[in-house]
Structure 1
Amino acid sequence: MKVFVSVDMEGVSGLTDPEEMRAGGRGYERGCELMTGDANAAIRAAFDAGAERVVVTDSHGTGKNLRADLIDERCTLVRGPFKPMRMGEGLDASFDVALYVGYHARAGVERGVLNHTWMGREIQNLYLNGEVAGEIRLMAGYAGSLGVPVGFLAGDRAACEEARDLLGAVETVAVKDGHDRYAAEVIPPVRAQELIYEGVARALNAPDGWKRLALDAPYTMAVEWNSTAIAQSCSLIPGVKPSGPRTTEFTTDDYAEIVGLLGVFATIAGEIGCAGRQYG
């Protein structure tokens, strides 16, 4: 069995503060250790369930958050910024199943801890073939386009509910319950990581519960930005069309182009947002 593990940070056990997500922020180094601990719980369960290979990708920000010196030595780790497929980098059709750890709810979801879609503030809403989409739908869709099902997701309760709404009775573990975007009732990380281990073990021993998200081509991604400047700049990319003062659309038959374009969008939007400061 070949297992892919995508690890984000906002849904990691114990974390609720944006400072803990940002290099140089108060609590960030400890946040990286907790992120690695959650990842290791999933990796250990995968190998105990019979996995022959586990590939882990660091899916948060610059992709330099998982501690390479603390990660389970049996896996391989994909890390670093500007990976072409970002949160899905390293995944291909040879994998049996994808696991998502540390994931969060999409932008605007009530009680979603650190909720957002792809970027912290620049994207108001994102739509995939007319359906509102967060990172869970986007990454499950990418895996599905390769024929790979999703077997497990860990994150805050809102993320778990989003995953089940999308995929049905897929195995999930909620490590915290949001009170607001920046506040939550958290399960202490030691116990949360035990729950992740147990959840992954259950999932990998019951492949009938794995869910493949099969979306029909062509794929149309519409993005509602928080800034006319971002929309205008992104609409200069060949194939991207403006569909309103703050919205852009892109259609393709290749799902990988959706994921790759989001990476380009993030680079452009991040630069404009930082330059614009309070107007970004």
Structure 2
Amino acid sequence: MRLPDNSFAAMKIFISADMEGVAGITAVEQTDPVGQPEYARSCELMTAEVRAACEGATAGGATDILVNDSHWNMRNIIHEQLPPDVRLIRGSLKPLSMNQGVDASCAAAAFVGYHAPVGTADAILDHTYTGETLYDVRINGERCSEARVNAAVAGCFGVPVIFISGDQSACADARSFLPWVEAVEVKRAIGRYAASSMSPEQARKAIAAGMQRAVASVGAGRAKPFSFASPVTLELVFTSTAKADMASLLPEAERIDGRTLRYASPDFLTVFRAFRAMMTLGASVS
């Protein structure tokens, strides 16, 4: 594994952007691109927070910024509203999904608009990748958020995660395995569908300032690539036995009980591919 050399003047930052953790967003209807009148406004809010993160990263010393749109169909961010030199990965399907674009050329990664893992109390729209298909996601016996899974993908390329924004539960989750992370709480969840939120303007200011601090500190070397202990054991609990039936078609997936499958490998990227394959198979049936 080659670690990125942060001693060079050039500094590339990778940003994975989700929507549920954006200030002001509390309901599925705000995040669903299919026929929901509030969705267009949510795209504006998400784009503005990503822009703030990009501006903060540049102020902190970033010279190259790559953003991966990571919500739902991954066609949410309004590219022309980002700084003109920012590249955007848009659309799906993508081999690395929310992590597409991260590689060893990146000095660090940042997560904007993220949310807490499935099963978390006082967390806006808690889920891990897909709430309709997965009831729980566990790796090496621990419940996992998208942030933890995605940090491990970045870690496979030697890239540390230095920043996250979202509600208080998303921030607490990230701090539990990334103690150095710059975590910006833009809202406080009151259950699953209500929150006390910063104004969009204040959230953007906080995100820009947090990203500037995070990127400016990359050279100090405090942030480390995250990884799971090997061998890596993934357990997926599906929302129905029918979904588990379909997911069990994946070779080497072990059926633990009616709704739970297990998959193990010494290589995390192999586990991640299996995770996506089982999730996709499970989602193919109701």
* Structure 2 CA distance for aligned equivalents of residues 244 and 169 of structure 1: 38
1:7 aligns with 2:17: yes
| TM-score, normalised by the number of residues in structure 2 | 0.92
Counterpart selection for 1:21 from 31, 34, 38: 31
- Per the TM alignment, residue 200 of structure 1 is displaced from its structure 2 partner at its CA by 0.5
Contact 1:112 1:180 in 2 (8 A): yes
- Separation in 2 of the partners of 1:85 and 1:259? 8
Cα separation, 1, equivalents of 2:165 and 2:237:
27
TM-superposed deviation, 1:204: 1.1
Q: How many Å separate the matches in 1 of 2:86 and 2:194?
A: 33
Identity across aligned pairs (percent)? 37
Given candidates 208, 222, 234, the residue that maps to 2:235 is 222
Q: Which residue of 1 aligns with 2:283?
A: 270
Give the RMSD, CA atoms, in angstroms: 1.3
User: For the Cα contact (< 8 Å) 1:144–1:215, is it kept in 2?
Assistant: no
Return structure 1 stretches of 4+ with deviation > 3 angstroms. none
Equivalent position SS for 1:212? coil
| Deviation larger for 158-167 or 199-208 | 199-208
SS of the residue 1:69 aligns to: helix
After TM superposition, the structure 1 = structure 2 runs for residues 59-138 of structure 1, keeping only pairs within 5 Å, are 59-138=70-149
Distance 1:97 1:106 in 2: 22
Tell me how far apart the structure 2 counterparts of residues 73 and 219 of structure 1 sit (CA, whole Å). 40
Residue of 250, 256, 260 corresponding to 1:237: 250
Per-residue deviation at 1:16? 0.7
Do the aligned residues in 2 keep the contact of 1:235 with 1:242 (CA within 8 Å)? Answer: yes
In structure 2, the CA distance between the partners of 1:68 and 1:265, relative to structure 1 (3 Å rule), is: farther
Q: In 2 relative to 1, CA 90–3 (structure 1 residues): closer, same or farther, beyond 3 Å?
A: same
CA contact (8 A) 1:82 1:263 kept: no
Asked whether the 8 Å contact 1:153–1:172 carries over to 2, the reply is yes
Q: C-alpha deviations, 1:81-104, integer Å up to 9, x for none?
A: 111110101111221100000000
Partners of 2:267 and 2:173 in 1: CA distance: 25
Answer with 56-65 or 206-215: which moved more. Answer: 206-215
Q: TM-score, normalised by structure 1?
A: 0.94
User: Could you say which residue in structure 2 is the equivalent of 1:261?
Assistant: 274
* Letter paired with 2:241: T
Aligned residues: 273
Structure 1 unpaired stretches of 5+: none
Q: Which consecutive residues of structure 2, in runs of 5 or more, have no partner in the other structure? A: 1-10
| 3-state secondary structure, aligned to 2:65 | strand
- CA distance in structure 2 between the partners assigned to 1:235 and 1:150 by the alignment: 32
- Residue by residue over 1:36-84, the C-alpha shift from the partner in whole angstroms, topping out at 9 and shown as x without a partner, is 1110111111112221211100111111111122222211111111111
Of 202, 219, 222, 2:213 maps to: 202
AA paired with 2:14? F
